[in-house]
Amino acid sequence: MPYADGTDTTSATREKEGGTRVASSAVDATQDASSLRAEDITVTDPKVVKRAVAAATVGNITEWYDFGVYGYFILTLQKVFFAGMSDTASLIAAFGVFASSFLVRPIGGLIFGSLGDRIGRTKVLAMTVILMAASTFCIGLVPSYDSIGIAAPILVLLAKLGQGLSTGGEYSGSMTFIAEYTPDKRRGFTGSWLEFGTFTGYSLGAATVAILTAVMPEDDLLSWGYRIPFLLALPLGMVGLFLRLRLEETPAFEKLLEEQSEHQHDESKAGVRAVFVHYWRAILLCGGIVITWNITNYMLTSYIPTYLADLPEFGLGGGVDQTATQFMQIAVLVMLIVLIPIIGRLSDRVGRRPVLATGAIGLIVLSLPAVLLLRGGTVVSTFAGLLILGLMLACFSGTAPSTLPALFPTQVRYSGLAISFNIFVSLFGGTTALVMSTLLSATKDLNWPGYYLIAAGAIGLVSIALITEPNGKPLPGATPAVSTHEEAHALVASQD
């Protein structure tokens, strides 16, 4: 039998430099399981998997550090770049610029997703990480509104659009990359490290902002201190770029290239148009989960900091100052960093759908109590509200990165994920803060975050009920993937 170490090799198998054995002919997703052969199984070196996960995770840390800094610094940036308006108008403008980066994410998804399915995952992920780092670095160079007037918010807007284009290809590409590198039985655990990177990036961004806010006089913060966290993005991006350029392509994409060279693939079901024509059901199911996941995510990480800061204006929350709430949010993010890989491993044992359903039901039942706790005005009640939202988010963050890639086959996986993920994030996730600010300003009803999360949970629950459990199964259009030669033997023997 052919393995990466060269044992009993045949012409049907070639060894990859990084240690991943790639069979030359893929097993069709509909092939009878009893016909499975050892040469149809991909054996992936665990060391290669770790390098792949590390490269995706570090790049994701950079991406979400950059977004996190803007979200947590928005009250300061409101004064720096959006001066000359009323407080309400400048805050809405600052959130509007934040939301604008999400409006171009589908364009980034179309561009980078299509490229990822044509030229490869690693090349495109190298492009996205450097674009994000450069865009964020540029925000740190923009002069204030007092210095250059209306040009300041325009330049920030352009930089945020660059971030949006980058993120349009980054996150879906990272999900694809990790899923295609990982053995079938460990995809939940390895996929969860992507969100480990997300919340590490958020935490670094939040911690940087909180420390600067705590130690710097406000005049210094407004004149030059706000630049520091944005300028730090460039060296972070260089680290992510270095790690990604060292990796080879995923086994699944290598198989696809082999099939294309042998004219074995179906041209009618490849390309961006095919995603909408042939995989519209997968787009809708992916979108339902993305709506629930990302409304919860951006509610907690982007809007709640402002919500808590504004509570004193309504005569509530006055017992907890802004610095204390910032550090409580950081504590919740650190908890998520620890918890998400545990939930990912749990999903490898019990399945993705039970964990996702727990999160959706939790949102329906607990969102309004969590918002009422946030309004309690004490450290204990505020932290309890943040903790409830964090636990619900962890159910999605620990499981969704391994669930969504299984909705699309290899030939359109990157573009399918990029298109569906970014359309629904742009429409619902990235606009969460703007929608909440507008609704609260118009209605003065402080329960709106709870109502919004309940609706999101209901949408997610329907989508979760309609997807097929992907746990332990090969990705569509890919061969079974295992960690060791012994697992390959056992898998073949189990079909006899």
For 352-398, what is each residue's pLDDT tens digit? 999 999 999 999 999 999 999 998 888 899 999 999 999 999 999 99
Percent of the chain at pLDDT exceeding 70:
88
For 155-183, what is each residue's pLDDT tens digit? 989 999 998 898 888 888 889 988 988 88
Tell me the Cα Rg of the chain: 23
The dihedral formed by the CA atoms of 455, 459, 465 and 467, expressed in degrees to the nearest 10? -150
Instruction: Answer whether 300's CB lies under 8 Å from 336's CB.
Output: no
What average pLDDT score do residues 249-266 get? 70
For 455-477, what is each residue's pLDDT tens digit? 999 999 999 999 999 998 888 87
Model pLDDT, residue 83:
80
Place of tokens 């918010």: 153
CB-facing half-sphere around the CA of 365: CA atoms within 13 A:
9
Interatomic CA distance for residues 89 and 83, integer angstroms:
10
Exposed (0-12), middle (13-18) or buried (19+): which is 468, by Cβ within 10 Å?
exposed
Model pLDDT, residue 317:
62
Q: DSSP letter at 85?
A: S
What average pLDDT score do residues 440-466 get? 94
Instruction: Answer whether 44's CB lies under 8 Å from 178's CB.
Output: no
Model pLDDT, residue 99:
76
Which tokens sit at 28?
């069709």
Q: Which residues pair with 482 in a beta bridge?
A: 43
Mean pLDDT of the chain: 82
Q: Is pLDDT above 70 for 76?
A: yes
In angstroms, what CA-CA distances link 212 with 69, 207, 209, 224? 11, 8, 5, 11
Decide which of 98 and 316 is more confident. Answer: 98
For 331-344, what is each residue's pLDDT tens digit? 898 899 999 999 99
Residues with Cβ < 8 Å from 407, sequence gap 6 or more? 279, 282, 285, 286, 416, 417, 467, 476
Model pLDDT, residue 448:
94
Model pLDDT, residue 30:
39
Alpha helical stretches, state H, 250-351: 251-261, 272-278, 280-298, 304-310, 322-350
Burial annotation 199-232 (CB, 10 A radius, 16+ → b, else e) = bbbbbbbbbbbbbbbeebeeeebbeebbbbbbeb
Look up the pTM and report it. Answer: 0.81
Decide which of 160 and 495 is more confident. Answer: 160
E strands, 152-237, in order: none
For 262-280, what is each residue's pLDDT tens digit? 655 555 566 677 888 888 9
DSSP 142-173: PPPHHHHTTHHHHHHHHHHHHHHHHHHHHHHH
What average pLDDT score do residues 242-271 get? 71
Question: Listing from the earlier edge strand, what are the strands of the sheet with 13-15?
Answer: 13-15, 20-23, 42-44, 481-482
Ordered by where they begin, the domains of the chain are 1-28 (no CATH), 45-263+270-471 (1.20.1250.20)
Instruction: Answer whether 227's CB lies under 8 Å from 140's CB.
Output: yes
Q: Is pLDDT above 90 for 257?
A: no
CB-facing half-sphere around the CA of 66: CA atoms within 13 A:
34
Q: Is pLDDT above 50 for 229?
A: yes
Residues with Cβ < 8 Å from 89, sequence gap 6 or more? none
